[in-house]
Structure 1
C-alpha cells in the first residue's frame, strides 16, 4: 500500500441524497428473489477474522458489484457466507453502512482504503469523492505519492491534477523526500517536462543535483566516466561563456520551458467604450470562477495600449489617450491595488506589440501619430531604463507579437499602405531579426499568443473584412495551419494564455466594439464563450499574472 500524507487535515462528509430512494426502487425490482429477506455474511480474512452481516437486497440495490453477483446466478448468490479478498475490513464496513444510510466520512486515515474499496465494488460516486478529497489536499510533500496512487487506481482526473501540481510546484516538490526517493527513470521523465514552472534552468539543475547527491547512484560512474555527461557540461559552458554560439545549439536545450497549466488572472487594461472613447478602466478575469471584477483605474486613459507582466506586476505602456500617442508607462501592483509611474519610452507609440523575455519588456513597432514604426525598445525593471535595440525589417503597426521558443515573433500588421502576412523573429542573444514562414492570411489588429509547442493568431482585419479565422504555427515544420475559427469576427482582439487555454478578449466586429470573450481549448479544437467584460467594450490590452505570484 502506498503511503499518502495529507498535509491539509480535515474530513469530507459525503452524503448521497438519492441513496435511500435508489434503495427502495431497487427493493421493488428485486422482490422476486426468494432470498430477498436473507442475510449474507461478508468475510475479510486478511487481517484477523472480520465478519459483516448485510441484507442481500440492500447490497444488490446499492452496490453494483453485489448487484452483478446476486442477479447473474453466480455461485455466491446461494452462499450464506462470502469471502471478500483484497478488501480492507474497515473500508468494507464503512461502505456497507453507506449502502444503508447514504453517509460516509472520508478522512486522511481512510481515504486510500475507501478509494480502493469503492473501485473494487464499482462505487464510482465514492471513488470520485475520494479523488476530490485527495485533490483538494495536494501538497509538495505528498503530490508524487498521490500521482502514483492515482495511476495505480486508474483515476485519470486525480492523476492529471497531481501531475499538474507537480509541474506547477516543481521547486518545492524537488525538496521533498518523495522526490529524492524517485527512481532514475521517473526523475529523467520529470526534469524533461516542458511544463515545469521554474524561473531559471538552474532550479532544475539544483533539483537534479540534490537527487544525484542522495547516495542513490554511483556518482563517479555517472559523471566522471560518462562521455555524454562531460559533453553536456562542455556545451553548457559554451552557452554561458560564448553567447555568439547560442543560435547554433540545439533549440530544445536552450528554449525556455512553458508551464501551460499555470492558472493566471487576466487583466483587461484601458481600451474603448461604446462611443469609441479611450478608457482608464481596468478589470480582472478569473478563468476558474469565470468572473470579472473591477480594479483601481490607471492614472491615464489608454486605448491600443501595450501590456506586460514582470514579477507579478502589470505594466501599461504607451497607447492613445483620445488626443495624443503616449510614451508614458505606469505599473500596477495587485497586492496593493495601486498604480505607479515609471520611466517613459524613447518614442511615443500606440498599437505596438509588447512582450516579456528574460525579465525584460520589449515593445515592437506601433504608430506614433504620423507613421508606422519599425523601432524596438527594451525596458529593464531593475534600472527603470528604456534602450533602443535592433529595428524590425519592416514598419509594422497593429502586428501580433508573442514570445515563442525563446524568440520574439512578430506577425502581420500594416505599414499604412499594405497589410502583411509576413512573420519575423528576434534573437535577443545576437540582436538579429530573421524571417519565418508567412501566415496563411494577411492580417493586422489580430491577437497572438503561444501555448506549449505552438503559436497561435486569431481574428484581425485583412483590408476587406473583419476576421474570425485562426491559425497555428509549428516551428518544427515551419508552417502554419488553420484551426477552428472563433464564433465572432474580432479586430483589435487581444489573445492571452491561462490554464492551458487561450482567451480572445474583446475586439470590434465591423459594427460595434465587443465585450465578449471566447476561450479556445487546444485539446478539443473548440471555442467557448466565457463571461463578458463588465466595464469594457473592445480595444483592451491584456496581461496574465500567474496566481502563484500574487
Structure 2
C-alpha cells in the first residue's frame, strides 16, 4: 500500500514468527546473555527481553551495566517450573500454568514485579476459593502481602465460617479457649466488639504480663466481663476470693504471670521457628511487637453463649473458642450434689490419726491403674508443666516410688491394663497438641515401648480393656470444641486398629470401664455442657445402648469397679469440682448417691486394690493435688447408699461398722 508517498506494509505473521524464533533461541541457549540459577536449575535468556517484562530484573541488569559478559542471577526460594512459565510468558505473551503451580507462579511474579501476571494468578485462585481451601489461601495471601487478595478471602470466610471450621486446615490452627463470666444482668456485646476486647486482652497478657501466646493456648482461660464493659482476667477479679470462680484444671485456668522454668528456657532456645511465639522482647519492647498484625476476621455464635472466631493474634492465624456463662456467684449449680438429706457426721471418738504418703508430684488429668497389687499414677499436669514421670504406690509399705518414665509427656488421658501390661493412648502434651501416639509398659523390664498410633489425634478419650483388646472411646476433636462419637479397638497380637460402633452421644472426658463383659461410657461433656447420660457397649453385637443416667452430670470423673458395681468419683459439673460419689447397680439399672470424698476432685485418678478404692490427685477448684484418699468397701456395699462422711480432719481416719472407711492425706 502506498499512502502519502510512503510504502506501508503490515506483516501479521511476523510478530508471532519472531516471538517464536526468539523463544526457540532462548531454549537452545543461543545468543543468551543472562543465566537464572533457580534452586540448582539453570535457565538461559536474553537480558533485553527480561528487562522489558520485569521491573525487578531491569533494576538488576541496569546496576550491572558495565558487565559485557553473561550475567548470573540466583534465586534459592522460587520454583524452577514457575520461573520457566514466566519466561515463556515474557517471550510469547501466553501464560500457561498447571493449576497446582499457580501459587508458585504468583510468588515468582511478585518477586519479578510482574503485576499483571500476579493479578491474573490471584483472580484464578479466587475463582477456585471454597471452604476447603480458604485457610490455605488466606495463609498464602498473607505471606504475599496482597491486600486485595486477602480482603476477598476474608470476606468469603466471614460468609462461610461454619463450613470453613469443619475443614482439616482449620482444625490444625492454633486455638485459644476462653470462658467469660457474666453477671446475671449482663450480656456479651456483638461479635465484632466482643472480639476487639478479646484481642486487647491478649495484647495486655503478652505485653504487660509477659505471657507467651503458646502458654495462653495450653489451657482454657477464665475472663470476667465487668459491668463497665471491660474484659479482664478472672484471677484479678477474684484475688483473695477464689471460691467464687472455682474451676477445673482444663476448663477454668486463672491467668497469672509465671516465672520462666528451665523447661521453658530449653524449649524457647530449641524453637528457632517459633511460629506461635511472640517476640521474646515483647514485655520490654511493646512498640516493636505492636507492628505485628492483630486482626479480627470472622465469628459465629455456634450455640447458646458459645462463639467461634478466626483472628490474627500477634501475626499468627488462630481460632478462638469462647463460652459465656453466668457467674457462679449469682447462679446456682445446675447439678447440685443432692447430699444434704444424707448427712452423717463422724463421732469424735471414732477419729484416729493415720496419715498416708502423698505422691511426689501434684497431678491432674493423669492416668491411673492397678497393676500387680500396686497403684500406678502416670503423667498429668502439675500446673507448671505436663509430666511424663510415673509413680507406683505400695499400700503395704505406704510408699510411692518412681518407675520408668513414659516416652512422651502427656495428660488428659486414661490408662488400662491389657495382658499384664499398661497401655496409654493419646492425650495432650501440654503444648496445645493432641497426641495420636501410644505406648505400653512392661513391668518385667521396667520399660515403655511404642504401640501403633491412632488414626486421629485425640485427647480426653476413655480407655479400657475388654476381651483382650484395648478400646479408645470418644475424646476431644482436634479443636477441643466438641466431643467425638468415635470408638476404636486395638488388637495387641495383630497390632492393628479397627473401628467399632459409634457412641450415641458425643463425649469427651467420659469415665470408661469394663464390667461383666460390657464396656461403659459414663458422663463426660458433649461440648461445654456436662452430661449425666451413660452408655453400655455390647461387643457381641457391636452396639451402644443408653442406660439409666447418673444423678449428677459430671465430666472428668473417675470410675472403679468392685463386686459387680460401678463407683463414679468426683468430676466437674460445669460450675464446681465435685466431692460426691455414686454407685451403679447393673442388676437394678439405677444409680445411688454415696458418701462424699473429703476433697473435691476433677480429673483425678482411681484404682481398686483389694477391697479399697484409692482416689489420687486431681484439681479441687483451686489447687492441683497430690493427696490420696481411699474407701474400703468390704463385702457390704449396700451400706454406702445411706452414708455420707464429711468434715474429716486432715490426717484422720473414720471407721463405720468396719465396712466403710475414708482416709484423707494432706500434703
Q: What TM-score range do you get, normalising by the shorter chain?
A: 0.3 to 0.5
TM-score (norm 1): 0.48
Which of the two has higher C-alpha Rg? 2
